[in-house]
C-alpha cells in the first residue's frame, strides 16, 4: 500500500456508506490498492456550519483540513477497511450513524456493524463534528442513489421525459413541474454551496406533490394486479399483456419520484445545517426512516403484482393443452414483468424478486394426457385378471376394450398435434 501512514485514516459508517477521513495521499493509496470507487466528502463545510464554542470551531477547522472520501457499504468495502491498522475503537449504541447492517448479494443477513475507528487524537469524538460528518455522508449517499436512478431511467428509455409526458394525468404534470423546480434548486445549490431562503421558498412544498404522484403510480400498479384475479385464460392473457406494456412506465414514474425525494432530502439537510445544526442528526435519522418506509411500500405493491402474475402463469400452465397459444403468452409476460421489477428493486436496494418461470410445452401436455389414458386402460386389464373364473371372459373383454379405446384417443391427440404442426408450417411453430 505504499509508504503512507494508513494508521491515521479514520473511518465512519452510517449504514449506507463508509467514509475515510485523513490525508489525501494516504486515502488515495488505500483506495487504489483495493480498487474501490469513492466520492468526495465536502468536509470544508464543517468549518462554517457550527459556531458558538471555541472547541467546536477548532474541531471543525481540523476536520475540514483533512481529505474525505465516501464509499458505498458493500462486502468489498467492508473487507477492505478491515485491512487497515487497528487503533482506538469507539461505539455508541444510541447513535444512529454508528450502526450498519451488511447483507450478502442474496439478501441474507451477513454481518452487523457498529464501529467508528478513530486515531487517539481524533476530533470526531466531538458529537457535533460527528453529526456534521454523518449529515454530509447522508447527502453523498442520496446523490449516489440519484445517479443510479438516472442510469436506470436511461437504460429503460433513452428519452425518459417522453415516458412521463405520455401520461395525460394532471398528477404527472404536477410532478414534472416539481422536477423542474428541484433541478433549478440543485443547480443553484451547487453554484453557491448551499440553499438560500429564496431557493428554499420555491421548493419547500414539493414533498406533497411527489408523494401524491407516487401514490397515484402505486394505485395504477394495484389496478394491473387486480385484473389478474380472473380464472379465465383469455382474460388473463389480456391482463398480462397490459401489465407487460404498462408496468415499466409506472416503474419509471416511481423511480423518478424516488429521485426527487432524494433531491428534496439533500436540500432539507442543507437547510437544517444552516438553521438548526443541533437538530441535524435527528433530521438525518428521520429522513433515513422515511426513505425505508417508502421503499417498503413500493416493495409490497410490486411484489403483490408479481404474486398475481405467478398465479396467472400457474393457471396458464395447468390449461396449456386447451390454450396452446395463450398460455405461453401469459408466462412470457410474467417473466418480462418480473425482470423489469427485479431491475427496479435492485436500483432501490430492495431484495431481488422471484425467478423466471418456464411455460409448459403443449406437446408435453399431450404426452401426459396420452400416458394417463394408457395407464387407465392398463388398470382395466389388471382388474379383469383379479375377477373370479366365472366372469373372467367378460371382464377381460372389458379391459381389452378399455386399452383399445385409450389407444384410439391417444392416437387422435397425437394426430391433432401433428396436424397443428403441419398447419402452422415452418414460419409459425407452436409456441412454448
* Average pLDDT of the residues in 128-146: 89
The residue ranking higher by pLDDT, 207 or 129, is 207
pTM: 0.72
* Distance (Å, whole) CA 261 – CA 142: 9
Q: Which helix (H) or strand (E) holds 101?
A: strand 99-103
* Average pLDDT of the residues in 183-203: 90
How crowded is the C-beta side of 416, counted as CA atoms within 13 Å?
16
* Whether pLDDT at 138 is above 70: yes
- The predicted pLDDT at position 330 comes to 87
* Distance (Å, whole) CA 51 – CA 47: 9
The residue ranking higher by pLDDT, 306 or 193, is 306
pLDDT exceeding 90 applies to what percent of the chain? 30
- The predicted pLDDT at position 320 comes to 65
The DSSP bridge partners found for residue 300 are none
- The predicted pLDDT at position 106 comes to 47
* Distance (Å, whole) CA 145 – CA 157: 18
Q: How many CB atoms lie within 10 A of CB 283?
A: 19
* Distance (Å, whole) CA 361 – CA 370: 14
Average pLDDT of the chain, as a whole number = 74
Cβ partners under 8 Å of residue 23, min gap 6: 4, 5, 8, 9, 66, 67
Q: Helices H, strands E: what count in the chain?
A: 14, 8
β-strands 109-114, 39-40 pairing = unpaired
* Whether pLDDT at 12 is above 50: yes
- The predicted pLDDT at position 186 comes to 94
The residue ranking higher by pLDDT, 158 or 339, is 339
* Average pLDDT of the residues in 194-207: 91
pLDDT class of 44 with cuts at 50, 70, 90: confident
* pLDDT digits 0-9 by tens, 225-248: 999 988 888 899 999 999 998 898
- The predicted pLDDT at position 105 comes to 44
| Buried/exposed 219-231: b ≥16 CB within 10 Å, e otherwise | ebbeebbebbeee
Residue 387 · residue 395 · CB < 8 Å? yes
Which three cell numbers, joined as nine digits, stand for 62?
Answer: 481540523
- The predicted pLDDT at position 316 comes to 81
pLDDT class of 301 with cuts at 50, 70, 90: very high
Cβ partners under 8 Å of residue 344, min gap 6: 152, 251, 254, 255, 302
Out of 53-67, 97-111, 282-296, 379-393, which region has the weakest mean confidence (pLDDT)?
97-111
Helix, strand, coil shares of the chain, percent, nearest 5, are: 70, 10, 25
The residue ranking higher by pLDDT, 409 or 272, is 272
- The predicted pLDDT at position 8 comes to 74
How crowded is the C-beta side of 136, counted as CA atoms within 13 Å?
28
Q: Which helix (H) or strand (E) holds 279?
A: none
Amino acid at each position: 500500500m505504499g509508504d503512507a501512514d494508513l494508521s491515521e485514516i479514520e473511518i465512519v459508517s452510517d449504514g449506507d456508506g463508509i467514509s475515510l477521513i485523513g490525508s489525501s495521499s494516504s486515502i488515495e493509496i488505500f483506495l487504489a490498492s483495493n480498487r474501490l470507487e469513492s466520492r468526495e466528502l465536502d468536509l470544508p463545510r464543517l468549518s462554517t456550519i457550527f459556531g458558538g464554542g471555541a472547541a467546536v470551531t477548532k474541531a471543525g477547522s481540523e476536520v475540514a483540513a483533512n481529505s474525505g472520501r465516501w464509499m458505498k457499504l458493500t462486502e468489498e468495502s467492508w473487507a477492505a477497511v478491515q485491512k487497515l491498522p487497528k487503533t482506538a475503537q469507539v461505539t455508541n449504541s444510541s447513535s444512529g450513524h454508528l450502526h450498519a447492517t451488511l447483507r450478502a448479494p442474496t439478501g441474507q443477513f451477513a454481518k452487523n456493524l457498529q464501529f467508528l475507528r478513530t486515531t487517539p487524537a481524533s476530533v470526531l469524538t466531538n458529537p457535533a463534528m460527528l453529526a456534521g460528518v454523518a449529515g454530509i455522508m447522508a447527502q453523498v449517499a442520496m446523490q449516489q442513489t440519484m445517479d443510479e436512478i438516472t442510469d436506470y431511467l436511461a437504460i429503460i428509455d433513452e428519452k425518459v421525459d417522453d415516458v412521463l409526458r405520455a401520461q395525460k394525468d394532471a398528477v404527472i404534470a404536477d410532478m414534472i413541474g416539481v422536477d423542474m423546480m428541484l433541478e433549478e434548486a440543485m443547480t443553484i445549490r451547487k453554484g453557491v454551496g448551499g440553499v438560500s431562503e429564496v431557493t428554499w421558498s420555491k421548493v419547500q412544498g414539493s414533498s406533497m406533490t411527489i408523494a401524491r404522484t407516487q401514490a397515484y403510480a402505486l394505485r395504477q400498479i394495484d389496478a394491473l394486479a387486480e385484473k389478474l384475479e380472473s380464472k379465465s385464460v383469455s382474460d388473463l392473457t389480456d391482463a398480462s399483456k397490459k401489465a407487460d406494456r404498462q408496468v415499466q412506465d409506472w416503474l419509471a414514474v416511481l423511480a423518478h419520484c424516488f429521485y426527487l425525494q432524494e433531491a428534496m432530502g439533500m436540500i432539507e439537510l442543507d437547510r437544517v445545517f444552516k438553521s438548526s445544526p443541533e437538530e441535524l442528526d435527528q433530521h438525518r435519522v428521520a429522513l433515513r426512516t422515511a426513505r425505508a418506509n417508502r421503499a417498503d411500500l413500493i416493495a409490497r405493491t410490486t411484489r403483490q403484482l408479481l404474486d398475481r402474475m405467478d398465479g396467472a402463469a400457474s393457471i396458464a400452465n395447468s390449461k396449456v393443452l386447451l390454450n396452446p397459444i395463450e398460455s405461453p403468452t401469459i408466462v412470457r409476460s410474467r417473466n418480462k414483468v418480473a425482470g423489469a421489477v427485479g431491475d427496479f428493486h435492485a436500483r432501490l436496494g430492495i431484495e431481488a424478486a422471484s425467478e423466471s418461470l418456464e411455460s409448459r410445452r403443449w406437446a408435453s401436455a399431450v404426452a401426459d394426457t396420452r400416458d394417463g389414458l394408457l395407464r387407465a386402460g392398463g388398470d382395466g386389464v389388471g382388474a379383469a385378471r383379479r375377477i373370479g373364473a366365472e366372469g373372467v371372459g367378460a371382464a377381460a373383454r372389458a379391459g381389452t376394450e378399455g386399452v383399445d379405446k385409450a389407444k384410439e384417443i391417444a392416437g387422435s391427440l397425437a394426430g391433432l398435434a401433428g396436424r397443428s404442426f403441419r398447419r402452422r408450417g415452418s414460419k409459425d411453430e407452436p409456441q412454448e
